[in-house]
Amino acid sequence: MKSPHRHVHSIDPPPDRSAIRAMRKQKEGDMELAALRAAFDLQYQASRAQPQVPEALRRERLLRLGQLLDQHGTALEEAIAQDYGVRSARLTQLTDIFTTRALLARALRQLHGWCKPQKVRTPLYLQPGRAWVMPQPLGVVGVMAPWNYPLQLLLAPAIGALAAGNRVLLKPSEHAPRLAQLLAELVPVFFKPEEMALVHGSTAMAVAFASLPFDHLVFTGSTETGRKIALAAAHNLTPTTLELGGKSPCVIELDADIAEAAIRIAHGKLLNAGQTCVAPDYLLLPRGMEQAFETAYRDAALTLYPGLPEHPDYASVISPTQWARLCSMLKQAEQMGARIKEIAAPESPSIWGLSPHGARQMPAVLAYGVTPEMRLMQEEIFGPVLPIVSYDRASDVPQIIRSLPRPLALYWFGRSEQARDALLEQTVSGGVTINETLLHVAHPNLPFGGVGASGWGAYHGRWGFERFSHHRAVYQPGRWFMGQWLRPPFGERFDRLMQSLRKWL
């Protein structure tokens, strides 16, 4: 008797969902990178086809940028608030939209003078002749912006680049996705893709962006990331402007008005919950004034933000990751002997009892007894935490500042012009505000930029126009050009002429 045949049907294993997600993510990433390259290539070809851009067209582009801000300001404010969790529309109006509009207005008023060729004097040995410097667009300028002031730090460099006649490719932060998506919809409405375009996406997109052969690349962010950007740009010999932050000191002298200094320092430190590249990062305070400053700083913080940290004008920490980083720095400092003092409204929960997944509004914090080994004194804080370093002699202050990498900003509070000038002469920083905080950045005619570890290059106002222009040297000899007598073959006439010319040097 034969055994019946049994038909065995193969059963395919269930699909690997993680593999499918990975493939989908890879495909999306490939599409992002292809779109990035296409956007760059379009602008690059356009810049080479039109090396010089008329002043009228530059002005029109700047006006269109102003229309974008004016017509969609409310939507931009809402997008930034959604990215943060808590960030008031008024805060965004002040720090992102008004400051950008002020730079734009200044550029429009001064554009004609910026664009004019600059005549230079011609020395005797090149007479008769005339010479001038002709500003020309570099070509394509890339702008990589952070999340803390996501609109201002994206568009402020773009203003200088457009004024200089460049094409601009924008890369907003991946940590501000709602703003990035809104701008991705708005920019094409106001600009042709070969004029200004925006790309956004993953971290891989940021790496690829920095690796493109731009004619100039602007990056604002951390020093650590700035090093990576500089290395990526160096492969293409791309010149860069890096705005990197660092440990910006704030100095109080013995003769300073403590109450006045405290309110101004609190404003500079707590604006945007301390998430400001030029925020005071540590305070140098005469020993013995700690309690007086703490009382004044508490009063100031609660005057600015009644109910701190729960106040609508007081911003959230951007993400749970940043919250955890700040808490980790504070715990390490406390374990190493620092005294941590929270400043908040009565009955407000401690920082340790707040959830990083909630509103993420962090109390203000003073940290006493900090030492150089602590992360609070090694890393840029980027939060509402202010370490206090007590000093005994005024001569100690510049030494302490010089012991750290050169900062993006320095703040000084006091009454003695001699003491002020001595500190300025003995230290180096990107910018300085005297008896206030932050305001040197708001001045449209001052360069904004870092030095050393806090970055290089500067923009704002004419400084941005100059940064994003090629200064082309032009010389035109006259008909009876003296230089023809300096050609070989050399002889006695050459010797007599050189002897005469040396007297005119």
Contacts of 58-63 with C-beta under 8 Å, sequence gap 24+, read 58/111, 58/115, 58/162, 58/163, 58/164, 58/165, 59/108, 59/111, 61/162, 61/191, 61/195, 61/196, 62/104, 62/107, 62/108, 62/111, 62/159, 62/162, 62/163, 63/108
* Predicted pLDDT of residue 26: 64
- Catalytically active residues are 243, 277
Q: Please give the full DSSP string across 358-374, using - where no structure is assigned.
A: TT--PPEEEEES--TTS
How many Å apart are CA 44 and CA 382, to the nearest integer?
36
Tell me what the mean pLDDT of segment 423-444 comes to. Answer: 96
CA dihedral over 442, 447, 449, 451, signed as positive or negative: negative
* Predicted pLDDT of residue 265: 98
Q: Which fold has domain 249-449?
A: Aldehyde Dehydrogenase; Chain A, domain 2 (3.40.309)
Least confident of 227-236, 443-452, 492-501: 492-501
pLDDT digits (tens, 9 = 90+) for 325-371: 999 999 999 999 999 999 999 989 899 888 888 899 999 999 999 99
How many Å apart are CA 96 and CA 104, to the nearest integer?
12
Two tokens at 122?
């011609």
pLDDT digits (tens, 9 = 90+) for 261-271: 999 999 999 99
| Residue 91: exposure state from Cβ atoms within 10 A (0-12, 13-18, ≥19) | buried
Cβ count near 482 (within 10 Å):
16
pLDDT digits (tens, 9 = 90+) for 125-153: 888 999 999 999 999 999 999 999 999 99
Task: Name the residue among 266, 244, 275, 169 with its Cα closest to residue 213.
Answer: 169
How many Å apart are CA 136 and CA 149, to the nearest integer?
30
Higher pLDDT, 102 or 15: 102
pLDDT of 18 > 80? The answer is no
Domain with CATH 3.40.309.10 in the chain: 249-449
186 Cβ contact list (under 8 Å, min separation 6): 68, 72
Confidence of residue 474 (pLDDT cuts 50, 70, 90): very high
pTM, 2 dp: 0.91
Are residues 219 and 240 in contact, defined by beta-carbon separation less than 8 angstroms?
A: yes
Give the CA distances from residue 26 to residues 23, 29, 72, 167, 177, in Å, rounded to whole numbers and listed in that order: 5, 5, 34, 29, 19
How many Å apart are CA 223 and CA 242, to the nearest integer?
9
* Predicted pLDDT of residue 196: 98
Domain with CATH 3.40.605.10 in the chain: 25-244+461-467
How many Å apart are CA 102 and CA 215, to the nearest integer?
26
Q: Which fold has domain 25-244+461-467?
A: Aldehyde Dehydrogenase; Chain A, domain 1 (3.40.605)
Two tokens at 441?
């950045």
Are residues 433 and 290 in contact, defined by beta-carbon separation less than 8 angstroms?
A: no
How many Å apart are CA 65 and CA 42, to the nearest integer?
20
Cβ count near 425 (within 10 Å):
9
Give the CA distances from residue 344 to residues 265, 296, 313, 364, in Å, rounded to whole numbers and listed in that order: 16, 13, 15, 7
3-state SS of 6-61 is CCCCCCCCCCCHHHHHHHHHHHHHHHHHHHHHHHHHHHHHHHHHCCCCCHHHHHHH
Are residues 96 and 84 in contact, defined by beta-carbon separation less than 8 angstroms?
A: no
pLDDT digits (tens, 9 = 90+) for 33-72: 999 999 999 999 999 999 999 999 999 999 999 999 999 9
Confidence of residue 2 (pLDDT cuts 50, 70, 90): very low
Name residue 369's amino acid: G
Tell me what the mean pLDDT of segment 397-403 comes to. Answer: 97
What is residue 402's three-state secondary structure? helix
